[in-house]
Structure 1
Amino acid sequence: MSSFVVLGATGHIGSAVIRTLIEAGGSAIAIAHSRESAQSIAGPAVEARVMDVMDTEALREVLKEAGRAFLLNPPADPSSDTDAREAASARCIAEAVRGSGLEKVVVASTYGAQPGEKIGDLSILYDFEQMIRATGIPCAVNRGAYYFSNLDASLESAWQGVIASPFPADLKIPMVSPHDLGRAAAVRLMSAVTDVGIRYVEGPERYTFAEVADAFSSVLSRRVELRTIPRDEIEQSFRKLGFSKEAAESYARMMKASIDGGFEVPPDPERGATSLQEHIASLVDSAPKP
């Protein structure tokens, strides 16, 4: 029997979960969405399975093969109705967990998770937390800050001297490397069954988007300016990126909720080691030059 099942195993967070588990001497069943991605992560201690998490019965049978599981609700294609699709996958995963016999699960969630409708991850992941808790299996929830990887799409425009964001230039935002989130999740997967409840995970510092622009400037050795997207243009900015009408509306409402309410800033979060500057430097090193 493998010790762990990891959903989203080929993504930024899931792959870091896998690496940390293997470094600690564990083994894992890695759930991937395609044969190509499964081949990229399979190894002596990793059995890769290609599976649709919407297949509740098949997923439950895989979960029965392990003692613990890392649960990540996969993001939907932004050209779809993301809230509807992600709510459906969350329900399927929770139903698979129910009756699986797992001794503990770790759930990936987000800062600011809250009840509501059409506020993207804030409500979808809050509901996911509640559904997993309702299974009765001991549940550790790691709420992650704003992902550094959200900034990756800005690299091309940064080379042109500008990045755009809906967030006010001076708004301090908790941010984190997905790799640090994966390591933190793996540690909780391996910890005592009594290590449950919500824990917050962010990077070593909190940053403004003015500081994000400065970090791009430093790494690229050229001036990068920040353009703040006006509030009434946020939804349209997502449409221009190919988001569906429903997804653009949800993401815009999520951004506005974060701006209006301020980002959740817990007093004593767990802090990863990766800084904003380090993430951007690594991004630039791994990307083709324009």
Structure 2
Amino acid sequence: MHIILGATGHVGSALAQDLLARSEPVTVVTRDAHKAEALRTKGAHVAVVDVFDTHALHRVFKGGHRLFVLNPPAAPSTDTVAEERRSLRAILSALEGCRLEKIVAESTYGAQPGEGLGDLGVLYDMEQALRAGRTPFSAIRAAYYMSNWDASLKTAREEGKVYSMYPADFRLPMVAPHDLGQFAARLMLGSPESSGPHHVEGPEHYSAGDVARAFSQALGRPVEVVETPREQWEKAFKSLGFSDAAARSYAAMTRVTLDQHYEPPEKPERGAISLGEYISALVKKSPDR
């Protein structure tokens, strides 16, 4: 049995569907059964468990052989680092005493030790904790999710603008969640030996300008990039409903990416879905197309 934490999100859902298509037994863990209904109809078992209920989560883990871990992102209105460290502790506690064959976990490009780095520090700590355990472990370090641009569809359609913390010509690795899910399935079904970290990105690097051009082509109207200056990042995040702590964390992560304060991988794994294909599909499935 494959246990999937985060199965109702972009990556976990893609992983679950890939495994189910191969007739693999899958249990998806969620707080909201309604969000997992589509996966249930495809054959998944649904375990309705709050990640902070360590006893219930432990029981689910004990019923599986391989586990995919995606530490749930905290609501931006909270202190995201504090909340994500709390959920990580709960997951690690629930794993105690479990005899799993393998754990695969979703991490991120730029994961590194240090305080004040938002998810980058939390996910690095997750990698270290899982690698120190007895269960064979593989980490996926994902590039910038293409789905991070989903919210830009509204402004691209209504204003002809894509708002970005990055300069229009700054290129960075991006990846479609579906490609991450497929790669995760390969690891879940592969050798139980520890491996990685595996860096996964799309066919090429893209910029905010490329995002605007992709929206322009898909929507059939001009779309431009509006860059938020570095000194206004925290204010911009707070205007979107982020707490002060979350705004600081997200600004710090943005700085790490823009200033490239991490070692880029020499040979990343590459997905097949281009940014243009991802944006085109996003527009086609939107209700207001």
Normalised to the residue count of structure 1, the TM-score between the two structures is: 0.96
Who is 1:147 aligned against? Answer: 145
Single out whichever of 75-84 and 188-197 deviates more from structure 2. 188-197
Q: 2:154 aligns with which of 144, 153, 156?
A: 156
The 5 Å alignment of 1:201-280 reads: 201-261=200-260, 265-280=264-279
CA distance in 1, matches of 2:181, 2:223: 30
Shift of 1:166: 1.0
Deviates more, 1:66-75 or 1:157-166: 157-166
> 1:98 corresponds to which letter in structure 2?
E
Q: In the alignment, does 2:114 pair up with 1:120? A: no
Post-superposition offset of 1:195:
4.9
3-state secondary structure, aligned to 2:47 = strand
1:2-41 alignment runs, 5 A limit: 3-41=1-39
- Say if 1:173 and 1:263, in contact at 8 Å, map to a contact too: no
Q: Is the 8 A contact 1:175 1:207 kept in 2?
A: yes
- Residue 251 of structure 1: how far off its partner (Å): 0.5
Output the CA distance in 2 between the equivalents of 1:261 and 1:144: 15
Contact 1:173 1:206 in 2 (8 A): yes
Question: 2:198 touches 2:268 (CA, 8 Å); kept in 1?
Answer: yes
Shift of 1:40: 3.2
- How many Å apart are 1:97 and its aligned residue? 1.8
- What do the CA deviations read for 1:202-252 (whole angstroms, capped 9, x no partner)? 111111111111111111111111111001100011101111111111101
Contact 2:110–2:256 at 8 Å: present in 1 too?
no
Q: Identity over the aligned pairs, expressed in percent? A: 46
| Secondary structure in structure 1 of the residue aligned to 2:129 | helix
Residue aligned with 2:103, SS: strand
Give the match for residue 77 of structure 1. 75
* SS in structure 2 at match of 1:164: strand
Q: Cα offset for 1:63? A: 0.7
SS in 2 for 1:42: helix
Does the Cα contact within 8 Å between 2:47 and 2:60 map onto a contact in 1? no
- Work out the CA distance in 1 between the residues paired with 2:219 and 2:261: 30
* 1:186 aligned onto 2:169: no
Q: Contact (CA 8 Å) 2:137, 2:193: kept in 1 or not? A: no
TM superposition shift of 1:192 = 0.7
Which residues of 2 match residues 156-175 of structure 1 at below 5 A? 156-159=154-157, 160-175=159-174
Superposed CA RMSD: 1.4
1:30 positional shift:
0.6
1:61 to 50, 59, 62: 59
CA distance in 2, matches of 1:196, 1:281: 34
Quick one: distance in 2 between partners of 1:187 and 1:108? 13
Is this contact kept in 1: 2:17–2:39, CA < 8 A?
A: no
> How many angstroms does 1:109 deviate by?
0.3
Instruction: Indicate if the aligned counterparts of 1:68 and 1:105 stay in contact, CA closer than 8 A.
Output: yes
Per-residue CA deviation, residues 6-41 of structure 1 (Å, 9 max, x unaligned), is 011111111111111112221111101212113332
Question: What is the rounded CA distance, in whole Å, between the counterparts of 1:257 and 1:10 in structure 2?
Answer: 28
* Alignment of 1:285 onto 2:277: no
Structure 1 residues 157-200: Cα deviation after superposition (integer angstroms, max 9, x where no partner): 11111111111222210000011101110110010112522111
AA at the equivalent of 1:274:
I
Structure 1 window deviating more from structure 2 (37-46 vs 193-202): it is 37-46
Q: Aligned with 1:226: secondary structure?
A: strand
Amino acid at match of 1:269: P
In 1, Cα distance between equivalents of 2:264 and 2:146:
17
Give the Cα separation in 1 of the matches to 2:253 and 2:203: 24
5+ residue gaps, structure 1: none
**1:97–1:135 Cα contact (<8 Å) kept:** no
Match of 2:84 among 83, 86, 97: 86
